[in-house]
């Protein structure tokens, strides 16, 4: 309604005012109302994490008796961290190493597969390319969780469950990664450069290794980051695939630990250990995200602008 009432053109007497506004626009005119609304919203997103941090600095007693958004009577963070790492002979370290292993192997493997396929779709014309790419686009719509139970059924009939491969192999397939690399390769690797290399007598695989790969690197980091995060956060797949405690990743391990502490009621001394463990498990990802901001923005932009 208000939008319709706004005049499209300003009357002439406002000429100088308009020029002023133009200058102000350059210097970014601020709105207090918008600032307040925006930062109130930020509180909603940020305060739960503040609570998590504050709770990680408390012992069980303070957790129940002191206000959630401030420190307790004692600063217990380091004692809690000590508890996290010594609980059940350091099972937390084991979970962390498993998570790192699954995420790194999946990320590297998925990136190699997606890069080669995406590059081929972008830079070569071959019989069946359209049909194969259409299959990949269709597969983007079916996410890993819908596939998890079918994959479990197949793996259990092949006796592959309860091995690291049961988590890694399904994570190697990223249709979205192929799509992203195709879009990226189309712009990043100029056809003229490939032609020049061909004239110089370089074979296609050599062109890929020595010329294209370097140009594709930023796109590859994006795919790697996305697969890494997806595998790091995956809960459903490892939950159904693994049952030996030593193979669990952090997500499943923490969930089990939390269930134990809830079942034990308030008497169990585990709450602060679970909360501190949960807090610590966030840190690597936050660092990865902040450090590699440029790359996840590329990934999301590719999906959003061209998708």
Applying the rule CB under 8 A, the residues between 115 and 174 that interact with another protein are: 116-117, 119-121, 124-127, 129, 132, 136, 139, 141-143, 145-147, 149-154, 157, 169-170, 172-173
Instruction: Identify residues 13-32 at the interface with another protein (CB under 8 A).
Output: 14, 18, 21-22, 25, 28-31
- Considering just the CA atoms, what is the radius of gyration of the chain in Å? 26
Instruction: Identify residues 85-104 at the interface with another protein (CB under 8 A).
Output: none
Q: Give yes or no for residue 12 binding another protein (CB under 8 A).
A: no
Q: 148: Cβ–Cβ under 8 A, 6 or more apart, which residues?
A: 170, 236, 237, 240
Beta-carbon count within 10 A of 235 CB: 15
Find the part of the chain contacting another protein (CB under 8 A) among 75-83, 89-97, 213-221, 284-292: 284-292
Q: Give yes or no for residue 216 binding another protein (CB under 8 A).
A: no
Nearer to another protein among residue 134 and residue 142 (C-beta): 142
Nearer to another protein among residue 197 and residue 254 (C-beta): 254
Q: Give yes or no for residue 213 binding another protein (CB under 8 A).
A: no
Q: Name the H helices within the chain.
A: 2-5, 15-26, 32-56, 60-65, 77-86, 91-123, 129-140, 144-157, 164-171, 175-188, 191-199, 204-207, 213-233, 236-241, 250-263, 271-291, 293-306
Among 3, 131, 199, 267, binds another protein (CB under 8 A): 3
Beta-carbon count within 10 A of 121 CB: 22
Contact 299, 225 (CB under 8 A): yes
Instruction: Identify residues 221-250 at the interface with another protein (CB under 8 A).
Output: 229, 232-233, 235-236, 239-240, 250
Q: Give yes or no for residue 263 binding another protein (CB under 8 A).
A: yes
Sign of CA dihedral 18, 22, 27, 28: positive
Nearer to another protein among residue 89 and residue 267 (C-beta): 267
Instruction: Identify residues 47-66 at the interface with another protein (CB under 8 A).
Output: 47-49, 51-52, 55, 63-64
């Amino acid at each position: 309604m208000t939008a319709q009432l706004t005049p499209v053109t300003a009357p002439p007497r406002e000429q100088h005012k308009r020029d002023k506004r133009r200058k102000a626009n350059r210097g970014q005119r601020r709105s207090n109302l918008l600032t307040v609304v925006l930062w109130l919203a930020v509180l909603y997103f940020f305060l739960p994490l503040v609570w998590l941090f504050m709770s990680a600095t408390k012992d069980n007693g303070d957790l129940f008796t002191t206000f959630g958004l401030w420190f307790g009577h004692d600063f217990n963070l380091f004692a809690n961290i000590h508890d996290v790492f010594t609980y059940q002979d350091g099972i937390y370290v084991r979970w962390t190493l498993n998570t790192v292993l699954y995420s790194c192997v999946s990320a590297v493997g998925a990136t190699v597969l997606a890069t080669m396929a995406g590059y081929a779709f972008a830079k070569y014309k071959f019989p069946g390319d359209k049909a194969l790419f259409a299959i990949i686009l269709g597969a983007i719509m079916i996410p890993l969780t819908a596939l998890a139970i079918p994959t479990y059924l197949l793996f259990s009939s092949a006796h592959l469950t309860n091995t690291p491969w049961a988590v890694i192999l399904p994570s190697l397939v990223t249709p979205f990664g192929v799509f992203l690399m195709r879009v990226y390769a189309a712009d990043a690797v100029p056809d003229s450069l490939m032609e020049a290399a061909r004239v110089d007598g370089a074979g296609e695989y050599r062109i890929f290794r020595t010329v294209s790969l370097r140009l594709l690197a930023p796109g590859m980091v994006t795919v790697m980051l996305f697969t890494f995060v997806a595998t790091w956060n995956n809960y459903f797949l490892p939950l159904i695939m693994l049952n030996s405690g030593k193979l669990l990743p952090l997500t499943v391990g923490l969930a089990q630990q939390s269930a134990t502490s809830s079942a034990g009621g308030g008497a169990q001394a585990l709450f602060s250990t679970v909360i501190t463990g949960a807090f610590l498990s966030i840190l690597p990802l936050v660092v990865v995200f902040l450090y590699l901001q440029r790359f996840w923005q590329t990934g999301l932009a590719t999906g959003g602008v061209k998708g």
